[in-house]
């Protein structure tokens, strides 16, 4: 295999080395770390990789569950923002989600929960990554990596699982070499559940196929197609009610300075309509081309097209009616004590096409080994959003104790729909470089410059173009990162990095109207850390400290509005440890401390959140797993995991506090035969009641987390 000037092996997929089988520890080169092909040890960034073996062992059904296991990561679970992740104090569109390195945006509108069966790994990069990916990623980036074909032999995988709430998942797939130079891999999976909240009924079908052509040692082509259809859970949460109005307040969930509580009668009840909808169809063909020109130059090109159709039609907001005078859309008075509901539908159609090309050059600079990557990318995104809602504040109302469903509509004022087509065009040039100053010291840097064009159009219900809210904008973000990595000894490295991010700010840019958005936000992060491996690779640990400041943050203030609100500061510490004690015992865990405050911050005209804690950001998150393999030399594995999330604020005004919680899971795996394993697991074994998320777009309700659940699965791989 050819060697580079830096003495690193080249492969046809060097961009995107994801380990198979046993972990290679800090010597792995995950794709999310950039185009330089740096190892985890020598990349000046905090990176976590949840590989396929871990995904299967811990029973993660969706990719978001795997991402949650990384240091300091939590997820939202709201069907209005189905890919909502939080890290380093930032969430929503401030976290970038990729699929095999491709950006499809805007993040919370576009991305859907992916079935973990189809994935090889979930990779998490912390902190701003605009230099690498050119989009809103101040908190971090998550990349969902698909499985790739094997040219050497036939492989097959299968999974079937059944558990509480009539939840089941199934998957089957395999790789077949069609010739010495061509192989194909295809994976299909389905998940389905009645949901831990009645009538939520989420399900998904995901089909991924990749064709690999490797005609020579120097050239590789990889054509992939992913086709996903799904129906999200339509559970939007439990309504907040005055404690004085109910006599059955649930304890241990939250505290409100306004006296709001959750009624026990509303726990895990669905206040949505009887026929809710949150469905989508997503088709994404992609093409990767790699050409090793010679021992010094490698070219890579990746192109993609994405088509998506999404449909939401629900009662999403649930408001406790405490006084007389409220009317529904039919003009009928709503009695106090009932829950007033809205209606909101959104129909989306999206087309996106893009390409990225880069050259990686290994050479000598003033006698020093240097690797330079330079290239450019561009995409065209057309996003058509049709939406409607009744003119009245409340479409109808339901009982707090026994919500009786009801029809979606129609209601006066919601039809015809309001149409908002948006076009975004982006082109960027980028550079990445790593210079080996000495045998122990290397300097890593990067720069990116973009030309971004946005055309936001709104049409009134009568079909007329709305000039008052429509606008066009042109923006030129320029970002860089630079940092040294120093090897204190072969298995111990110290790094520091300074990164900037100037990108589409905070919230969903496709909701912005004229006057709400004038310029890109600006962020900067300083980070230092240490990465170490010891005991012949059996012990791996990382530690990082960071400080982030962001200005001109855009926030979503409602279902259909945003506002430029101010600034935000985050600082914290993250640590990860993986210790394979011996053949039988292994321990893995991480802990993160986050202090995230707003600076000058006005999310709406009536709220001054300056100096307040950022909603949903826990001060402390921790994960711990322990596995006892080959128990008493039997083909049996036993394991347990614990997840802790500290108290968080639930609103911008900081009047609502969500209580901390700890969840414990246990599992057992019986290796029936080579390649066949039967798993049994219990999640939330203590049946802890807790609030998972408080979506600031829905301030009158909170999402209750899942209760205790059982599952059994059969996994096969051969």
| Tens of pLDDT, residues 104-161 | 877 777 788 889 999 999 999 999 988 998 876 789 999 999 999 999 999 999 999 9
Model confidence over 11-41: pLDDT tens digits? 334 433 333 334 578 999 999 999 999 999 9
The 10 Å Cβ neighbour count of residue 515 is 11
Nearest alpha carbon to residue 91 among 621, 614, 700: 614
The arithmetic mean of pLDDT across residues 654-680, rounded, is: 96
Structure tokens at 79: 């069907």
Strand partners, 435: 370, 443
Percent of the chain with pLDDT over 70: 93
pLDDT of residue 511: 72
- Residue 557's pLDDT band, with cuts at 50, 70 and 90, is low
- Residue 508's pLDDT band, with cuts at 50, 70 and 90, is low
Contact of 131 with 499, CB cutoff 8 Å: yes
pLDDT of residue 244: 94
- Residue 91's pLDDT band, with cuts at 50, 70 and 90, is confident
Model confidence over 244-262: pLDDT tens digits? 999 999 999 999 999 999 9
Contact of 298 with 14, CB cutoff 8 Å: yes
Percent of the chain with pLDDT over 90: 77
Q: Which residues, at least 6 apart from 649, have a Cβ–Cβ distance to it below 8 Å? A: 612, 613, 614, 615, 616, 617, 656, 657, 658
pLDDT of residue 79: 85
Q: Tell me: pLDDT of 267 over 50.
A: yes
Considering only residues 515 and 489, tell me which one the structure prediction assigns the higher pLDDT: 489
The 10 Å Cβ neighbour count of residue 172 is 16
| Spatial separation of the C-alpha atoms in residues 111 and 62, rounded to whole Å | 13
Highest mean predicted confidence (pLDDT) among 409-418, 600-609, 627-636: 627-636
Q: Tell me: pLDDT of 7 over 60.
A: no
The secondary structure of residue 69, as a DSSP letter, is T
The 10 Å Cβ neighbour count of residue 122 is 30
- Residue 3's pLDDT band, with cuts at 50, 70 and 90, is very low
**pLDDT, averaged across the chain:** 91
The arithmetic mean of pLDDT across residues 622-645, rounded, is: 96
The arithmetic mean of pLDDT across residues 189-203, rounded, is: 94
135: left (phi over 0), alpha (psi -120 to 50) or beta: beta
Structure tokens at 592: 């993160």
Question: How many CA atoms, within 13 angstroms, populate the side-chain half-sphere of residue 272?
Answer: 25
pLDDT of residue 107: 75
- Residue 556's pLDDT band, with cuts at 50, 70 and 90, is low
pLDDT of residue 544: 98
| Residue-by-residue DSSP string for 655-688 | -EEEPPEEEEEEEEEEEEETTEEEEEEEESTT--
pLDDT of residue 15: 38
- The CA-based angle 616-622-33, given to 5 degrees, is 85
Give the position of tokens 């500061």: 569
pLDDT of residue 560: 56
pLDDT of residue 559: 52
């Amino acid at each position: 295999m050819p060697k580079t000037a830096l003495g690193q092996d080249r492969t046809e997929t060097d961009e995107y080395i994801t380990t198979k089988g046993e972990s290679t520890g800090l010597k792995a080169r995950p794709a999310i770390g950039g185009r330089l092909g740096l190892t985890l040890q020598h990349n000046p960034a905090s990176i976590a990789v949840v590989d396929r073996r871990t995904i299967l062992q811990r029973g993660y059904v969706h990719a978001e569950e795997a991402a949650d296991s990384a240091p300091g990561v939590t997820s939202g679970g709201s069907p209005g923002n189905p890919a909502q992740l939080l890290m380093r104090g930032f969430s929503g569109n401030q976290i970038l989600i990729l699929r095999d390195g491709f950006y499809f945006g805007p993040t919370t509108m576009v991305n859907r929960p992916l079935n973990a069966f189809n994935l090889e790994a979930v990779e998490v990069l912390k902190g701003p990554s605009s230099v690498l990916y050119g989009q809103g990623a101040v908190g971090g980036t998550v990349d969902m990596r698909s499985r790739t074909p094997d040219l050497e032999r036939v492989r097959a995988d299968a999974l079937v699982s059944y558990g509480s709430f009539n939840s089941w998942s199934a998957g089957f797939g395999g790789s077949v070499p069609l010739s010495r130079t061509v192989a194909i891999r295809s994976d299909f999976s389905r998940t389905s559940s009645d949901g831990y909240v009645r009538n939520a009924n989420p399900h998904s079908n995901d089909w991924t196929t990749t064709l690999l052509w490797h005609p020579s040692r120097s050239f590789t082509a990889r054509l992939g197609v992913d086709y996903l259809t799904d129906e999200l859970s339509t559970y939007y949460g439990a309504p907040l009610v005055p404690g004085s109005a109910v006599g059955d307040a649930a304890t241990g969930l939250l505290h409100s300075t306004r006296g709001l509580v959750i009624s026990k009668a509303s726990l895990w009840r669905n206040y949505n309509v009887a026929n809710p909808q949150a469905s989508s169809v997503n088709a994404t063909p992609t093409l990767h081309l790699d050409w090793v020109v010679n021992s010094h130059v490698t070219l890579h090109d990746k192109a993609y097209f994405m088509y998506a159709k999404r449909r939401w039609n629900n009662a999403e907001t649930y408001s406790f009616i405490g006084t007389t005078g409220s009317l529904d859309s039919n003009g009928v008075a709503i009695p106090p004590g009932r829950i007033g509901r809205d209606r909101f539908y959104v129909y989306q159609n999206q087309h996106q096409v893009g390409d990225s090309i880069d050259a990686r050059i290994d050479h000598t600079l003033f006698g020093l080994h240097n690797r330079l990557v330079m290239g450019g990318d561009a995409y065209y995104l057309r996003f058509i959003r049709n939406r409607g809602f009744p003119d009245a504040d409340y479409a109808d109302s339901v009982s707090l104790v026994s919500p009786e469903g009801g029809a979606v509509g129609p209601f006066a004022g919601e039809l015809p729909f309001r149409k908002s087509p948006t076009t975004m065009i982006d082109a960027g040039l980028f550079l990445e470089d790593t210079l080996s100053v000495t045998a122990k010291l290397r300097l890593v840097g990067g720069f990116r410059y973009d030309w971004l064009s946005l055309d936001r159009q709104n049409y009134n219900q009568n079909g007329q173009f709305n000039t008052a809210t429509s606008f066009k904008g042109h923006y030129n973000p320029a970002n860089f990162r630079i940092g040294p990595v120093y090897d204190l000894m072969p298995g111990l490295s110290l790094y520091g990095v300074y990164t900037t991010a100037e990108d589409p700010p905070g919230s969903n840019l496709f909701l912005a109207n004229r006057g709400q958005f004038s310029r890109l936000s600006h962020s900067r992060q300083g980070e230092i850390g240490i990465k170490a491996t010891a005991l012949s690779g059996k012990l791996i640990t990382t530690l990082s400290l960071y400080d982030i400041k962001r200005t001109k943050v855009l926030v979503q203030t409602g279902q259909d509005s945003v506002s430029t609100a101010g600034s935000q500061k985050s600082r914290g510490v993250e640590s990860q440890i993986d210790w394979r004690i011996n053949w039988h015992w292994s321990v893995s865990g991480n802990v993160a401390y986050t202090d995230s405050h707003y600076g000058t911050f006005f999310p709406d005209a009536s709220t001054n959140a300056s100096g307040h804690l950022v909603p949903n950001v826990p001060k402390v998150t921790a994960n711990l797993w322990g596995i006892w393999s080959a128990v008493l030399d039997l083909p049996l594995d036993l394991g347990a995991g614990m997840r802790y999330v500290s108290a968080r604020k639930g609103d911008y005004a900081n009047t609502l506090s969500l209580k901390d919680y700890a969840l414990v899971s246990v599992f057992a795996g019986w290796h029936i035969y080579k390649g066949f394993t039967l798993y049994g697991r219990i999640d939330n074994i203590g049946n802890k009641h807790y609030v998972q998320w408080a979506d600031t777009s829905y301030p009158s309700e909170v999402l209750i987390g899942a209760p205790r659940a059982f599952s059994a699965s059969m996994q096969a791989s051969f």
